[in-house]
Structure formats: C-alpha cells, structure tokens
Chain A
Amino acid sequence: MTTTPSTFQLDIPEGLVTGTTVFRDEVTLHASKVTVLALLAHLKDVQKFEMLTDETCVDYYPKEPRFGILYQLYSLSRNIRVRVKVMLSEYDAVIPSACSVYRNANWLEREVYDLFGIVFEDHPDLRRILMPSDYQGHPLRREIPVQVEENAFSFNRARIDAEKPRATE
C-alpha cells in the first residue's frame, strides 16, 4: 500500500513551502514560483522523489491567482507520492522550468505552455506540442468555448481563418 500521510514525515527546510494540505490522503505542498525549483531539487535529491510522474495545470478561473501548476512526484524507494502546487496570476503567468531538475518536464511543460499559455523560463525547447504551430490562443483556458474547428491541421492560414468559427458573444 502507498503509505498514508500520517505515517510519513517530510523534513523540508524553512521557507521552501508556504503550506501543506491533505485531501483524500494526498499531500500537497504549496510553494511560490520563487522557491519551486529549490523545493523540487530538495525533494529529488534529499527526499528521494526520483520520478516526476506528471506536471500539469488547473485553471481556477474566475479566482485570482488563476493558474495552479501541479507537480506530481513519486518516490520509488519510499513508495510515497507528493504533489507540489504553485499558483500563478493570469497577468504574470511565468514560472521557472523544472527541466533542470526533472528531464521529463520538457514535454509536460510544452503541453502546459501549449494549452494554457504558461511561459516556462529557461525551457530548452518551448514550442507548441499538441496544437498546430500556427494556432492562436490556448485552448484549455476556461474562457475558450468548446467548439469544432475545421482544418485545424493545415498550414494554409488564409483558409483556416476564413473557416474558423467565432465565438458570438
């Protein structure tokens, strides 16, 4: 069984974490974007969280700060999971890239950049990954309506623009 939070203790240096919450036996460490890299490096090197299972974003619109970046970490040797959460404002959606700590953050961050428009500083290869490279906007933001888009994968931009459905509000 994965150890429940009551039975494991994380000794994290002062100042790296702003708070800890436990929901459904899952531990979430809250950090700011200034300390997140130091926290991730500490968790990886000292606390033996070798694997970055997942990194994604949740849009809490209309709350502000709006975006929550979630890092899902797993420790193979200790068999525990922990989540790191960093809140970002819509007007300052920039966060340091975790690629220097966890290599596989590369594609995961590209996906978050593509779908949410979060910019990752010092990312080695920050470009769109799922949407076409000439796509405008970031589709997983809450204000974008669910809609059908014809010819999404064509590089004929004039035709895409002509056939693009527009929000009518």
Chain B
Amino acid sequence: MVNETTKISEQALIVENSPQNVVNTEDVQLDITMEQLKKLVSPRALTGETMLLNMGPQHPSTHGVLRLLLELDGETVINCIPDIGFLHTGIEKTAESKNFLKAIPLTDRTDYLAPMSNNLAFCGAVEKLVGIDVPQRAQYLRVILMELTRMNSHLVWLGTHALDIGAMSVFLYCMREREMILDVYEAVSGARMMSSFIRPGGLWRDVPANFGSLVQKILDVFPRRVGEYDKLLKDNPMWKERTVGVGKISAEDAIAWGMTGPCLRGSGVNYDVRKAAPYSSYDHFEFSVPLGTNGDVYDRYRCRLDEFEQSMSIIRQAMKKLTPGPVMTDDRKVAPPPKHEIAYSMESLIHHFKLWTEGFRAPEGEVYFAVESGKGEYGVLLSGDGSPKPRRVHMRAPSFNNLQPLGVMSQGCLLADLVAIIGSVDIVLGDVDR
C-alpha cells in the first residue's frame, strides 16, 4: 500500500504570502506520505507554526535506535510519533526455519538485557505444546535465574534512566553490581549475555559448585547497595522534580493500551504473571507485588526499586528449597541422553542421533505461554504443525506494547521530560523490533 517514499513537497507546506513559514523539508525526511502525516500531526504543523523535529534513531536518550517524530510548540511536545523497526532482525521468521532447540539462541537476542526470561518464555511454550514435565530442581533454579535476570534488567534500566536525567554516578554503581550477576551467568552457562541456558525440559546442565557462593555474595551485598541507590535518588529534590507528576498514565488507559509490568503496576493495577498464572513453581514462594498510585515516572521508578527486595527474597527462599536432583527431564524423546549412556546403549545412541539431526516433533496446535520478565509480560505464541520446526513463533514483547502509548503519555510535556518518560518505560529496542 505504501511503497512510495515521499518527502513533503515544498509547495504543500508554503502558506500563501508568508515565505518565512516554510518547513525546511531538507531537514525532515519523512518516510510517510502527506496524507498519512496529516492524520498524525496537528494542522498547525503543516503551516510551519509548530516544528517537526526528528529525534533519533542515533540519539543517546532513545535507548537504542528508536526514532521519534516530534511536533513541538516551543519546548512543548504536541505530538510524539514513534517510528520503530530499525533493529528488526526477523527473529520470528528465522525461528520458523530452525527446530525448537536451535531457535533458543534467537530468543536471547530479543530482550538482550534479560536473556533468561526470553529463554524461559520460549521453552515454556515448547513444553506446553509438546507436554514436557520439568524436574523440581530445574524449576527452582529457573526461578533463581529469572529473579537474577530481573535484577539485571532493572539495574541497566536504573543506570541508564538516571543517566538520562543527569545522575551520572548511579550508572557507574549499577554497572558495578551488574557484573556480579553476569558472573553468575558466566558460571552457569559460559556466556555473560547470550546464555541460552534454559532448554525445553529443564536446563542445559546443572549449576557449578560455586553457584551457591556467587549467589550468596549477591544476596549479602545487594540490600545495602539498593539502599544506597535509593538514598541517592529517592529524596533528591532534582530527581523528584524531574520525575514526580511527569508522564502520567491512568490505570484505565494503561490497561486499554495493553501495558504490563512495572509500567502498569506504577498506575496501581495489580497484575503480575507470576501471581496471576504461576509458572515454574512461583506459587511455592511468598512475595508481594509493589504497586504505585499515580502512574508517573516516579512511581514506575519506585515499583522497580521495590522489586529488587522482592527478587532477593524469592532467591533466598529458592536457595533454601534447592535439593539435589536431575535438572533435565528423563523423557529421551525431547532431552538428550547422558554422554556415558551413549557408549553402551543402542537406544540412547539413536535418541541422540535423532535429536541432533532432526529434533523432536510438536503436535499441531497453538499455545500461548507468558512469563513476567523485568519489563512486563513476555509471551510466546507458538504454533506447531506436527514437524520438528515451529509453524509460527510470535513473541509478545513487553517493550513493543509498553512503547505504544508513549505518544499519549508525552502529550503536552516538555521535551526534556520526554527523555525521562522514554527511560521510565524501560524499552529495549531488540525487544521492540525483534
């Protein structure tokens, strides 16, 4: 339908007899037609009374390659039109050509700050579709890793969000703490970011002997450090001035726009997938869901910071519950046999060969499986067609859905506040564009 790249024709923008009111079309190259633009901006933009400004995709405060087309009246944002797709890598398409096991590394690369959450969402969907049971130890280990991932995601968010608003030191502290979590990632999976550790049926392997001490180190250090961030920001008058009452969204609007995660809870809506539809034995743990009241940038900040404590409490409980046992299902049709078995068992050899050459088959049908990632509800809609490859993998990305109401949240705010709002939504462009 839209194949023509159209620049605003200069004639269309010239108001008769007022040569000074001409939009400089060389500055704003638009990839939308004039008709489409008219629906998105106010009529004043077309006369040159308000300014159309291009923010991004190479802008440090857009957290990646987010491009915003802004209509500005002085410093006030009249309209904000997000333009996404600059990081579209076709992950959903690529996953269709790979079997279920080989598609896991692709999921790491959607929300690359929370790879384990994505792994779990995809593997959970595969387990639901195929009907695989996961051993209890693997479920508890998944919970520990999920909560570490949440802390990892929130740390990067806090650091960059504070940096956007002008608090440089918080960024450095957050990166320091994140190192400890990445050390755990490295110890369990060998990779610091793209872990691919969670597999259908359990985990790739059991955690190493020093896993407990690494996690314990985090649990020992973290409560004090989180208190320090809070001291730096919570009552900081400059921080409050930049965040309180900025980027408000009401509970009704947040639900109607499909927001999830801390963005929704900041508006006071109690929705957390861990409570609503517990997966991976989350119902065995006691934790509360922090809620905000005003739905502004400050409340979203508050929710995330309070989630640190809850995550640590869950990890403590899970470490206590952890008992030795298998971490992979013993269903040989989906899980590879142990190496030593291959040496003497013909059947294991066949299973191994079948799994690594073809993979396991999934029945025909669709399932939807959601996890609560650090950013919100990360769901995977998986459609099987009876073959070892999925017919369709769709990631319901929290960043994509949370970013959509950006234009609503930022209407009438100042340009500098827009930066705070983008930060508070906590987007990862890999997740938005997939």
Contacts and interface: CB of A to CB of B under 8 A. Distances in A.
B173 interface: no
Contact of A133 (B31, B94, B269): B31
Interface residues of B, number: 53
Contacts of B370: 53
B36 A155 contact: no
Contact of A146 (B29, B94, B365): B94
Q: What class of interface size applies to chain A in its complex with B?
A: 35 or more
A39 to B, nearest CB: 18
A28 interface: yes
A23 B129 CA distance: 9
Contact of A104 (B92, B93, B256, B278): B256
Nearest to B269: A76
Contacts of B29: 155
B250 interface: no
A129 B36 CA distance: 13
B86 interface: yes
Contacts of B396: 53-54, 56, 72
B90 A70 contact: no
Nearest to B85: A130
A72 B368 contact: yes
A85 to B, nearest CB: 8
Given A54-B379, A58-B392, A104-B401, A79 B255 contact: no
B5 A54 contact: no
B400 to A, nearest CB: 7
B281 to A, nearest CB: 12
B241 to A, nearest CB: 31
B379 A72 contact: yes
A130 B84 contact: yes
Nearest to B2: A127
B93 A146 contact: yes
B270 to A, nearest CB: 8
A60 B391 contact: yes
A50 interface: yes
Contacts of A59: 391-392
A106 interface: yes
B276 interface: yes
Given A24-B367, A70-B366, A103 B39 contact: no
A126 interface: yes
Nearest to A135: B3
Contacts of B433: 130
Contact of B85 (A2, A104, A131, A144): A131
Contacts of A128: 2, 85
Interface in B1-28: 1-5
Most buried by B among A26, A107, A136, A142: A107
> Which of A115, A130, A146 has most chain B Cβ within 10 Å?
A130
A72 B370 CA distance: 11
A35 B366 CA distance: 22
20 contacts: A1-B277, A1-B283, A23-B367, A54-B394, A58-B392, A59-B391, A72-B368, A83-B366, A104-B257, A107-B404, A126-B1, A133-B5, A133-B31, A134-B4, A134-B31, A139-B90, A139-B93, A146-B94, A155-B5, A157-B5
Query: Nearest 7 CB-CB pairs, A to B?
Result: A104-B258, A130-B85, A2-B277, A133-B31, A54-B396, A130-B88, A56-B394
Interface of B: 1-5, 29, 31-32, 36, 39-40, 84-86, 88, 90, 92-94, 96-97, 128-129, 131, 255-258, 269, 271, 276-278, 283, 365-368, 370, 377, 379, 381, 383, 391-392, 394, 396, 400-401, 404-405, 433-434
Given A2-B277, A23-B367, 11 more contacts: A24-B367, A51-B258, A53-B258, A56-B396, A59-B391, A72-B381, A104-B257, A125-B39, A127-B1, A130-B433, A142-B96
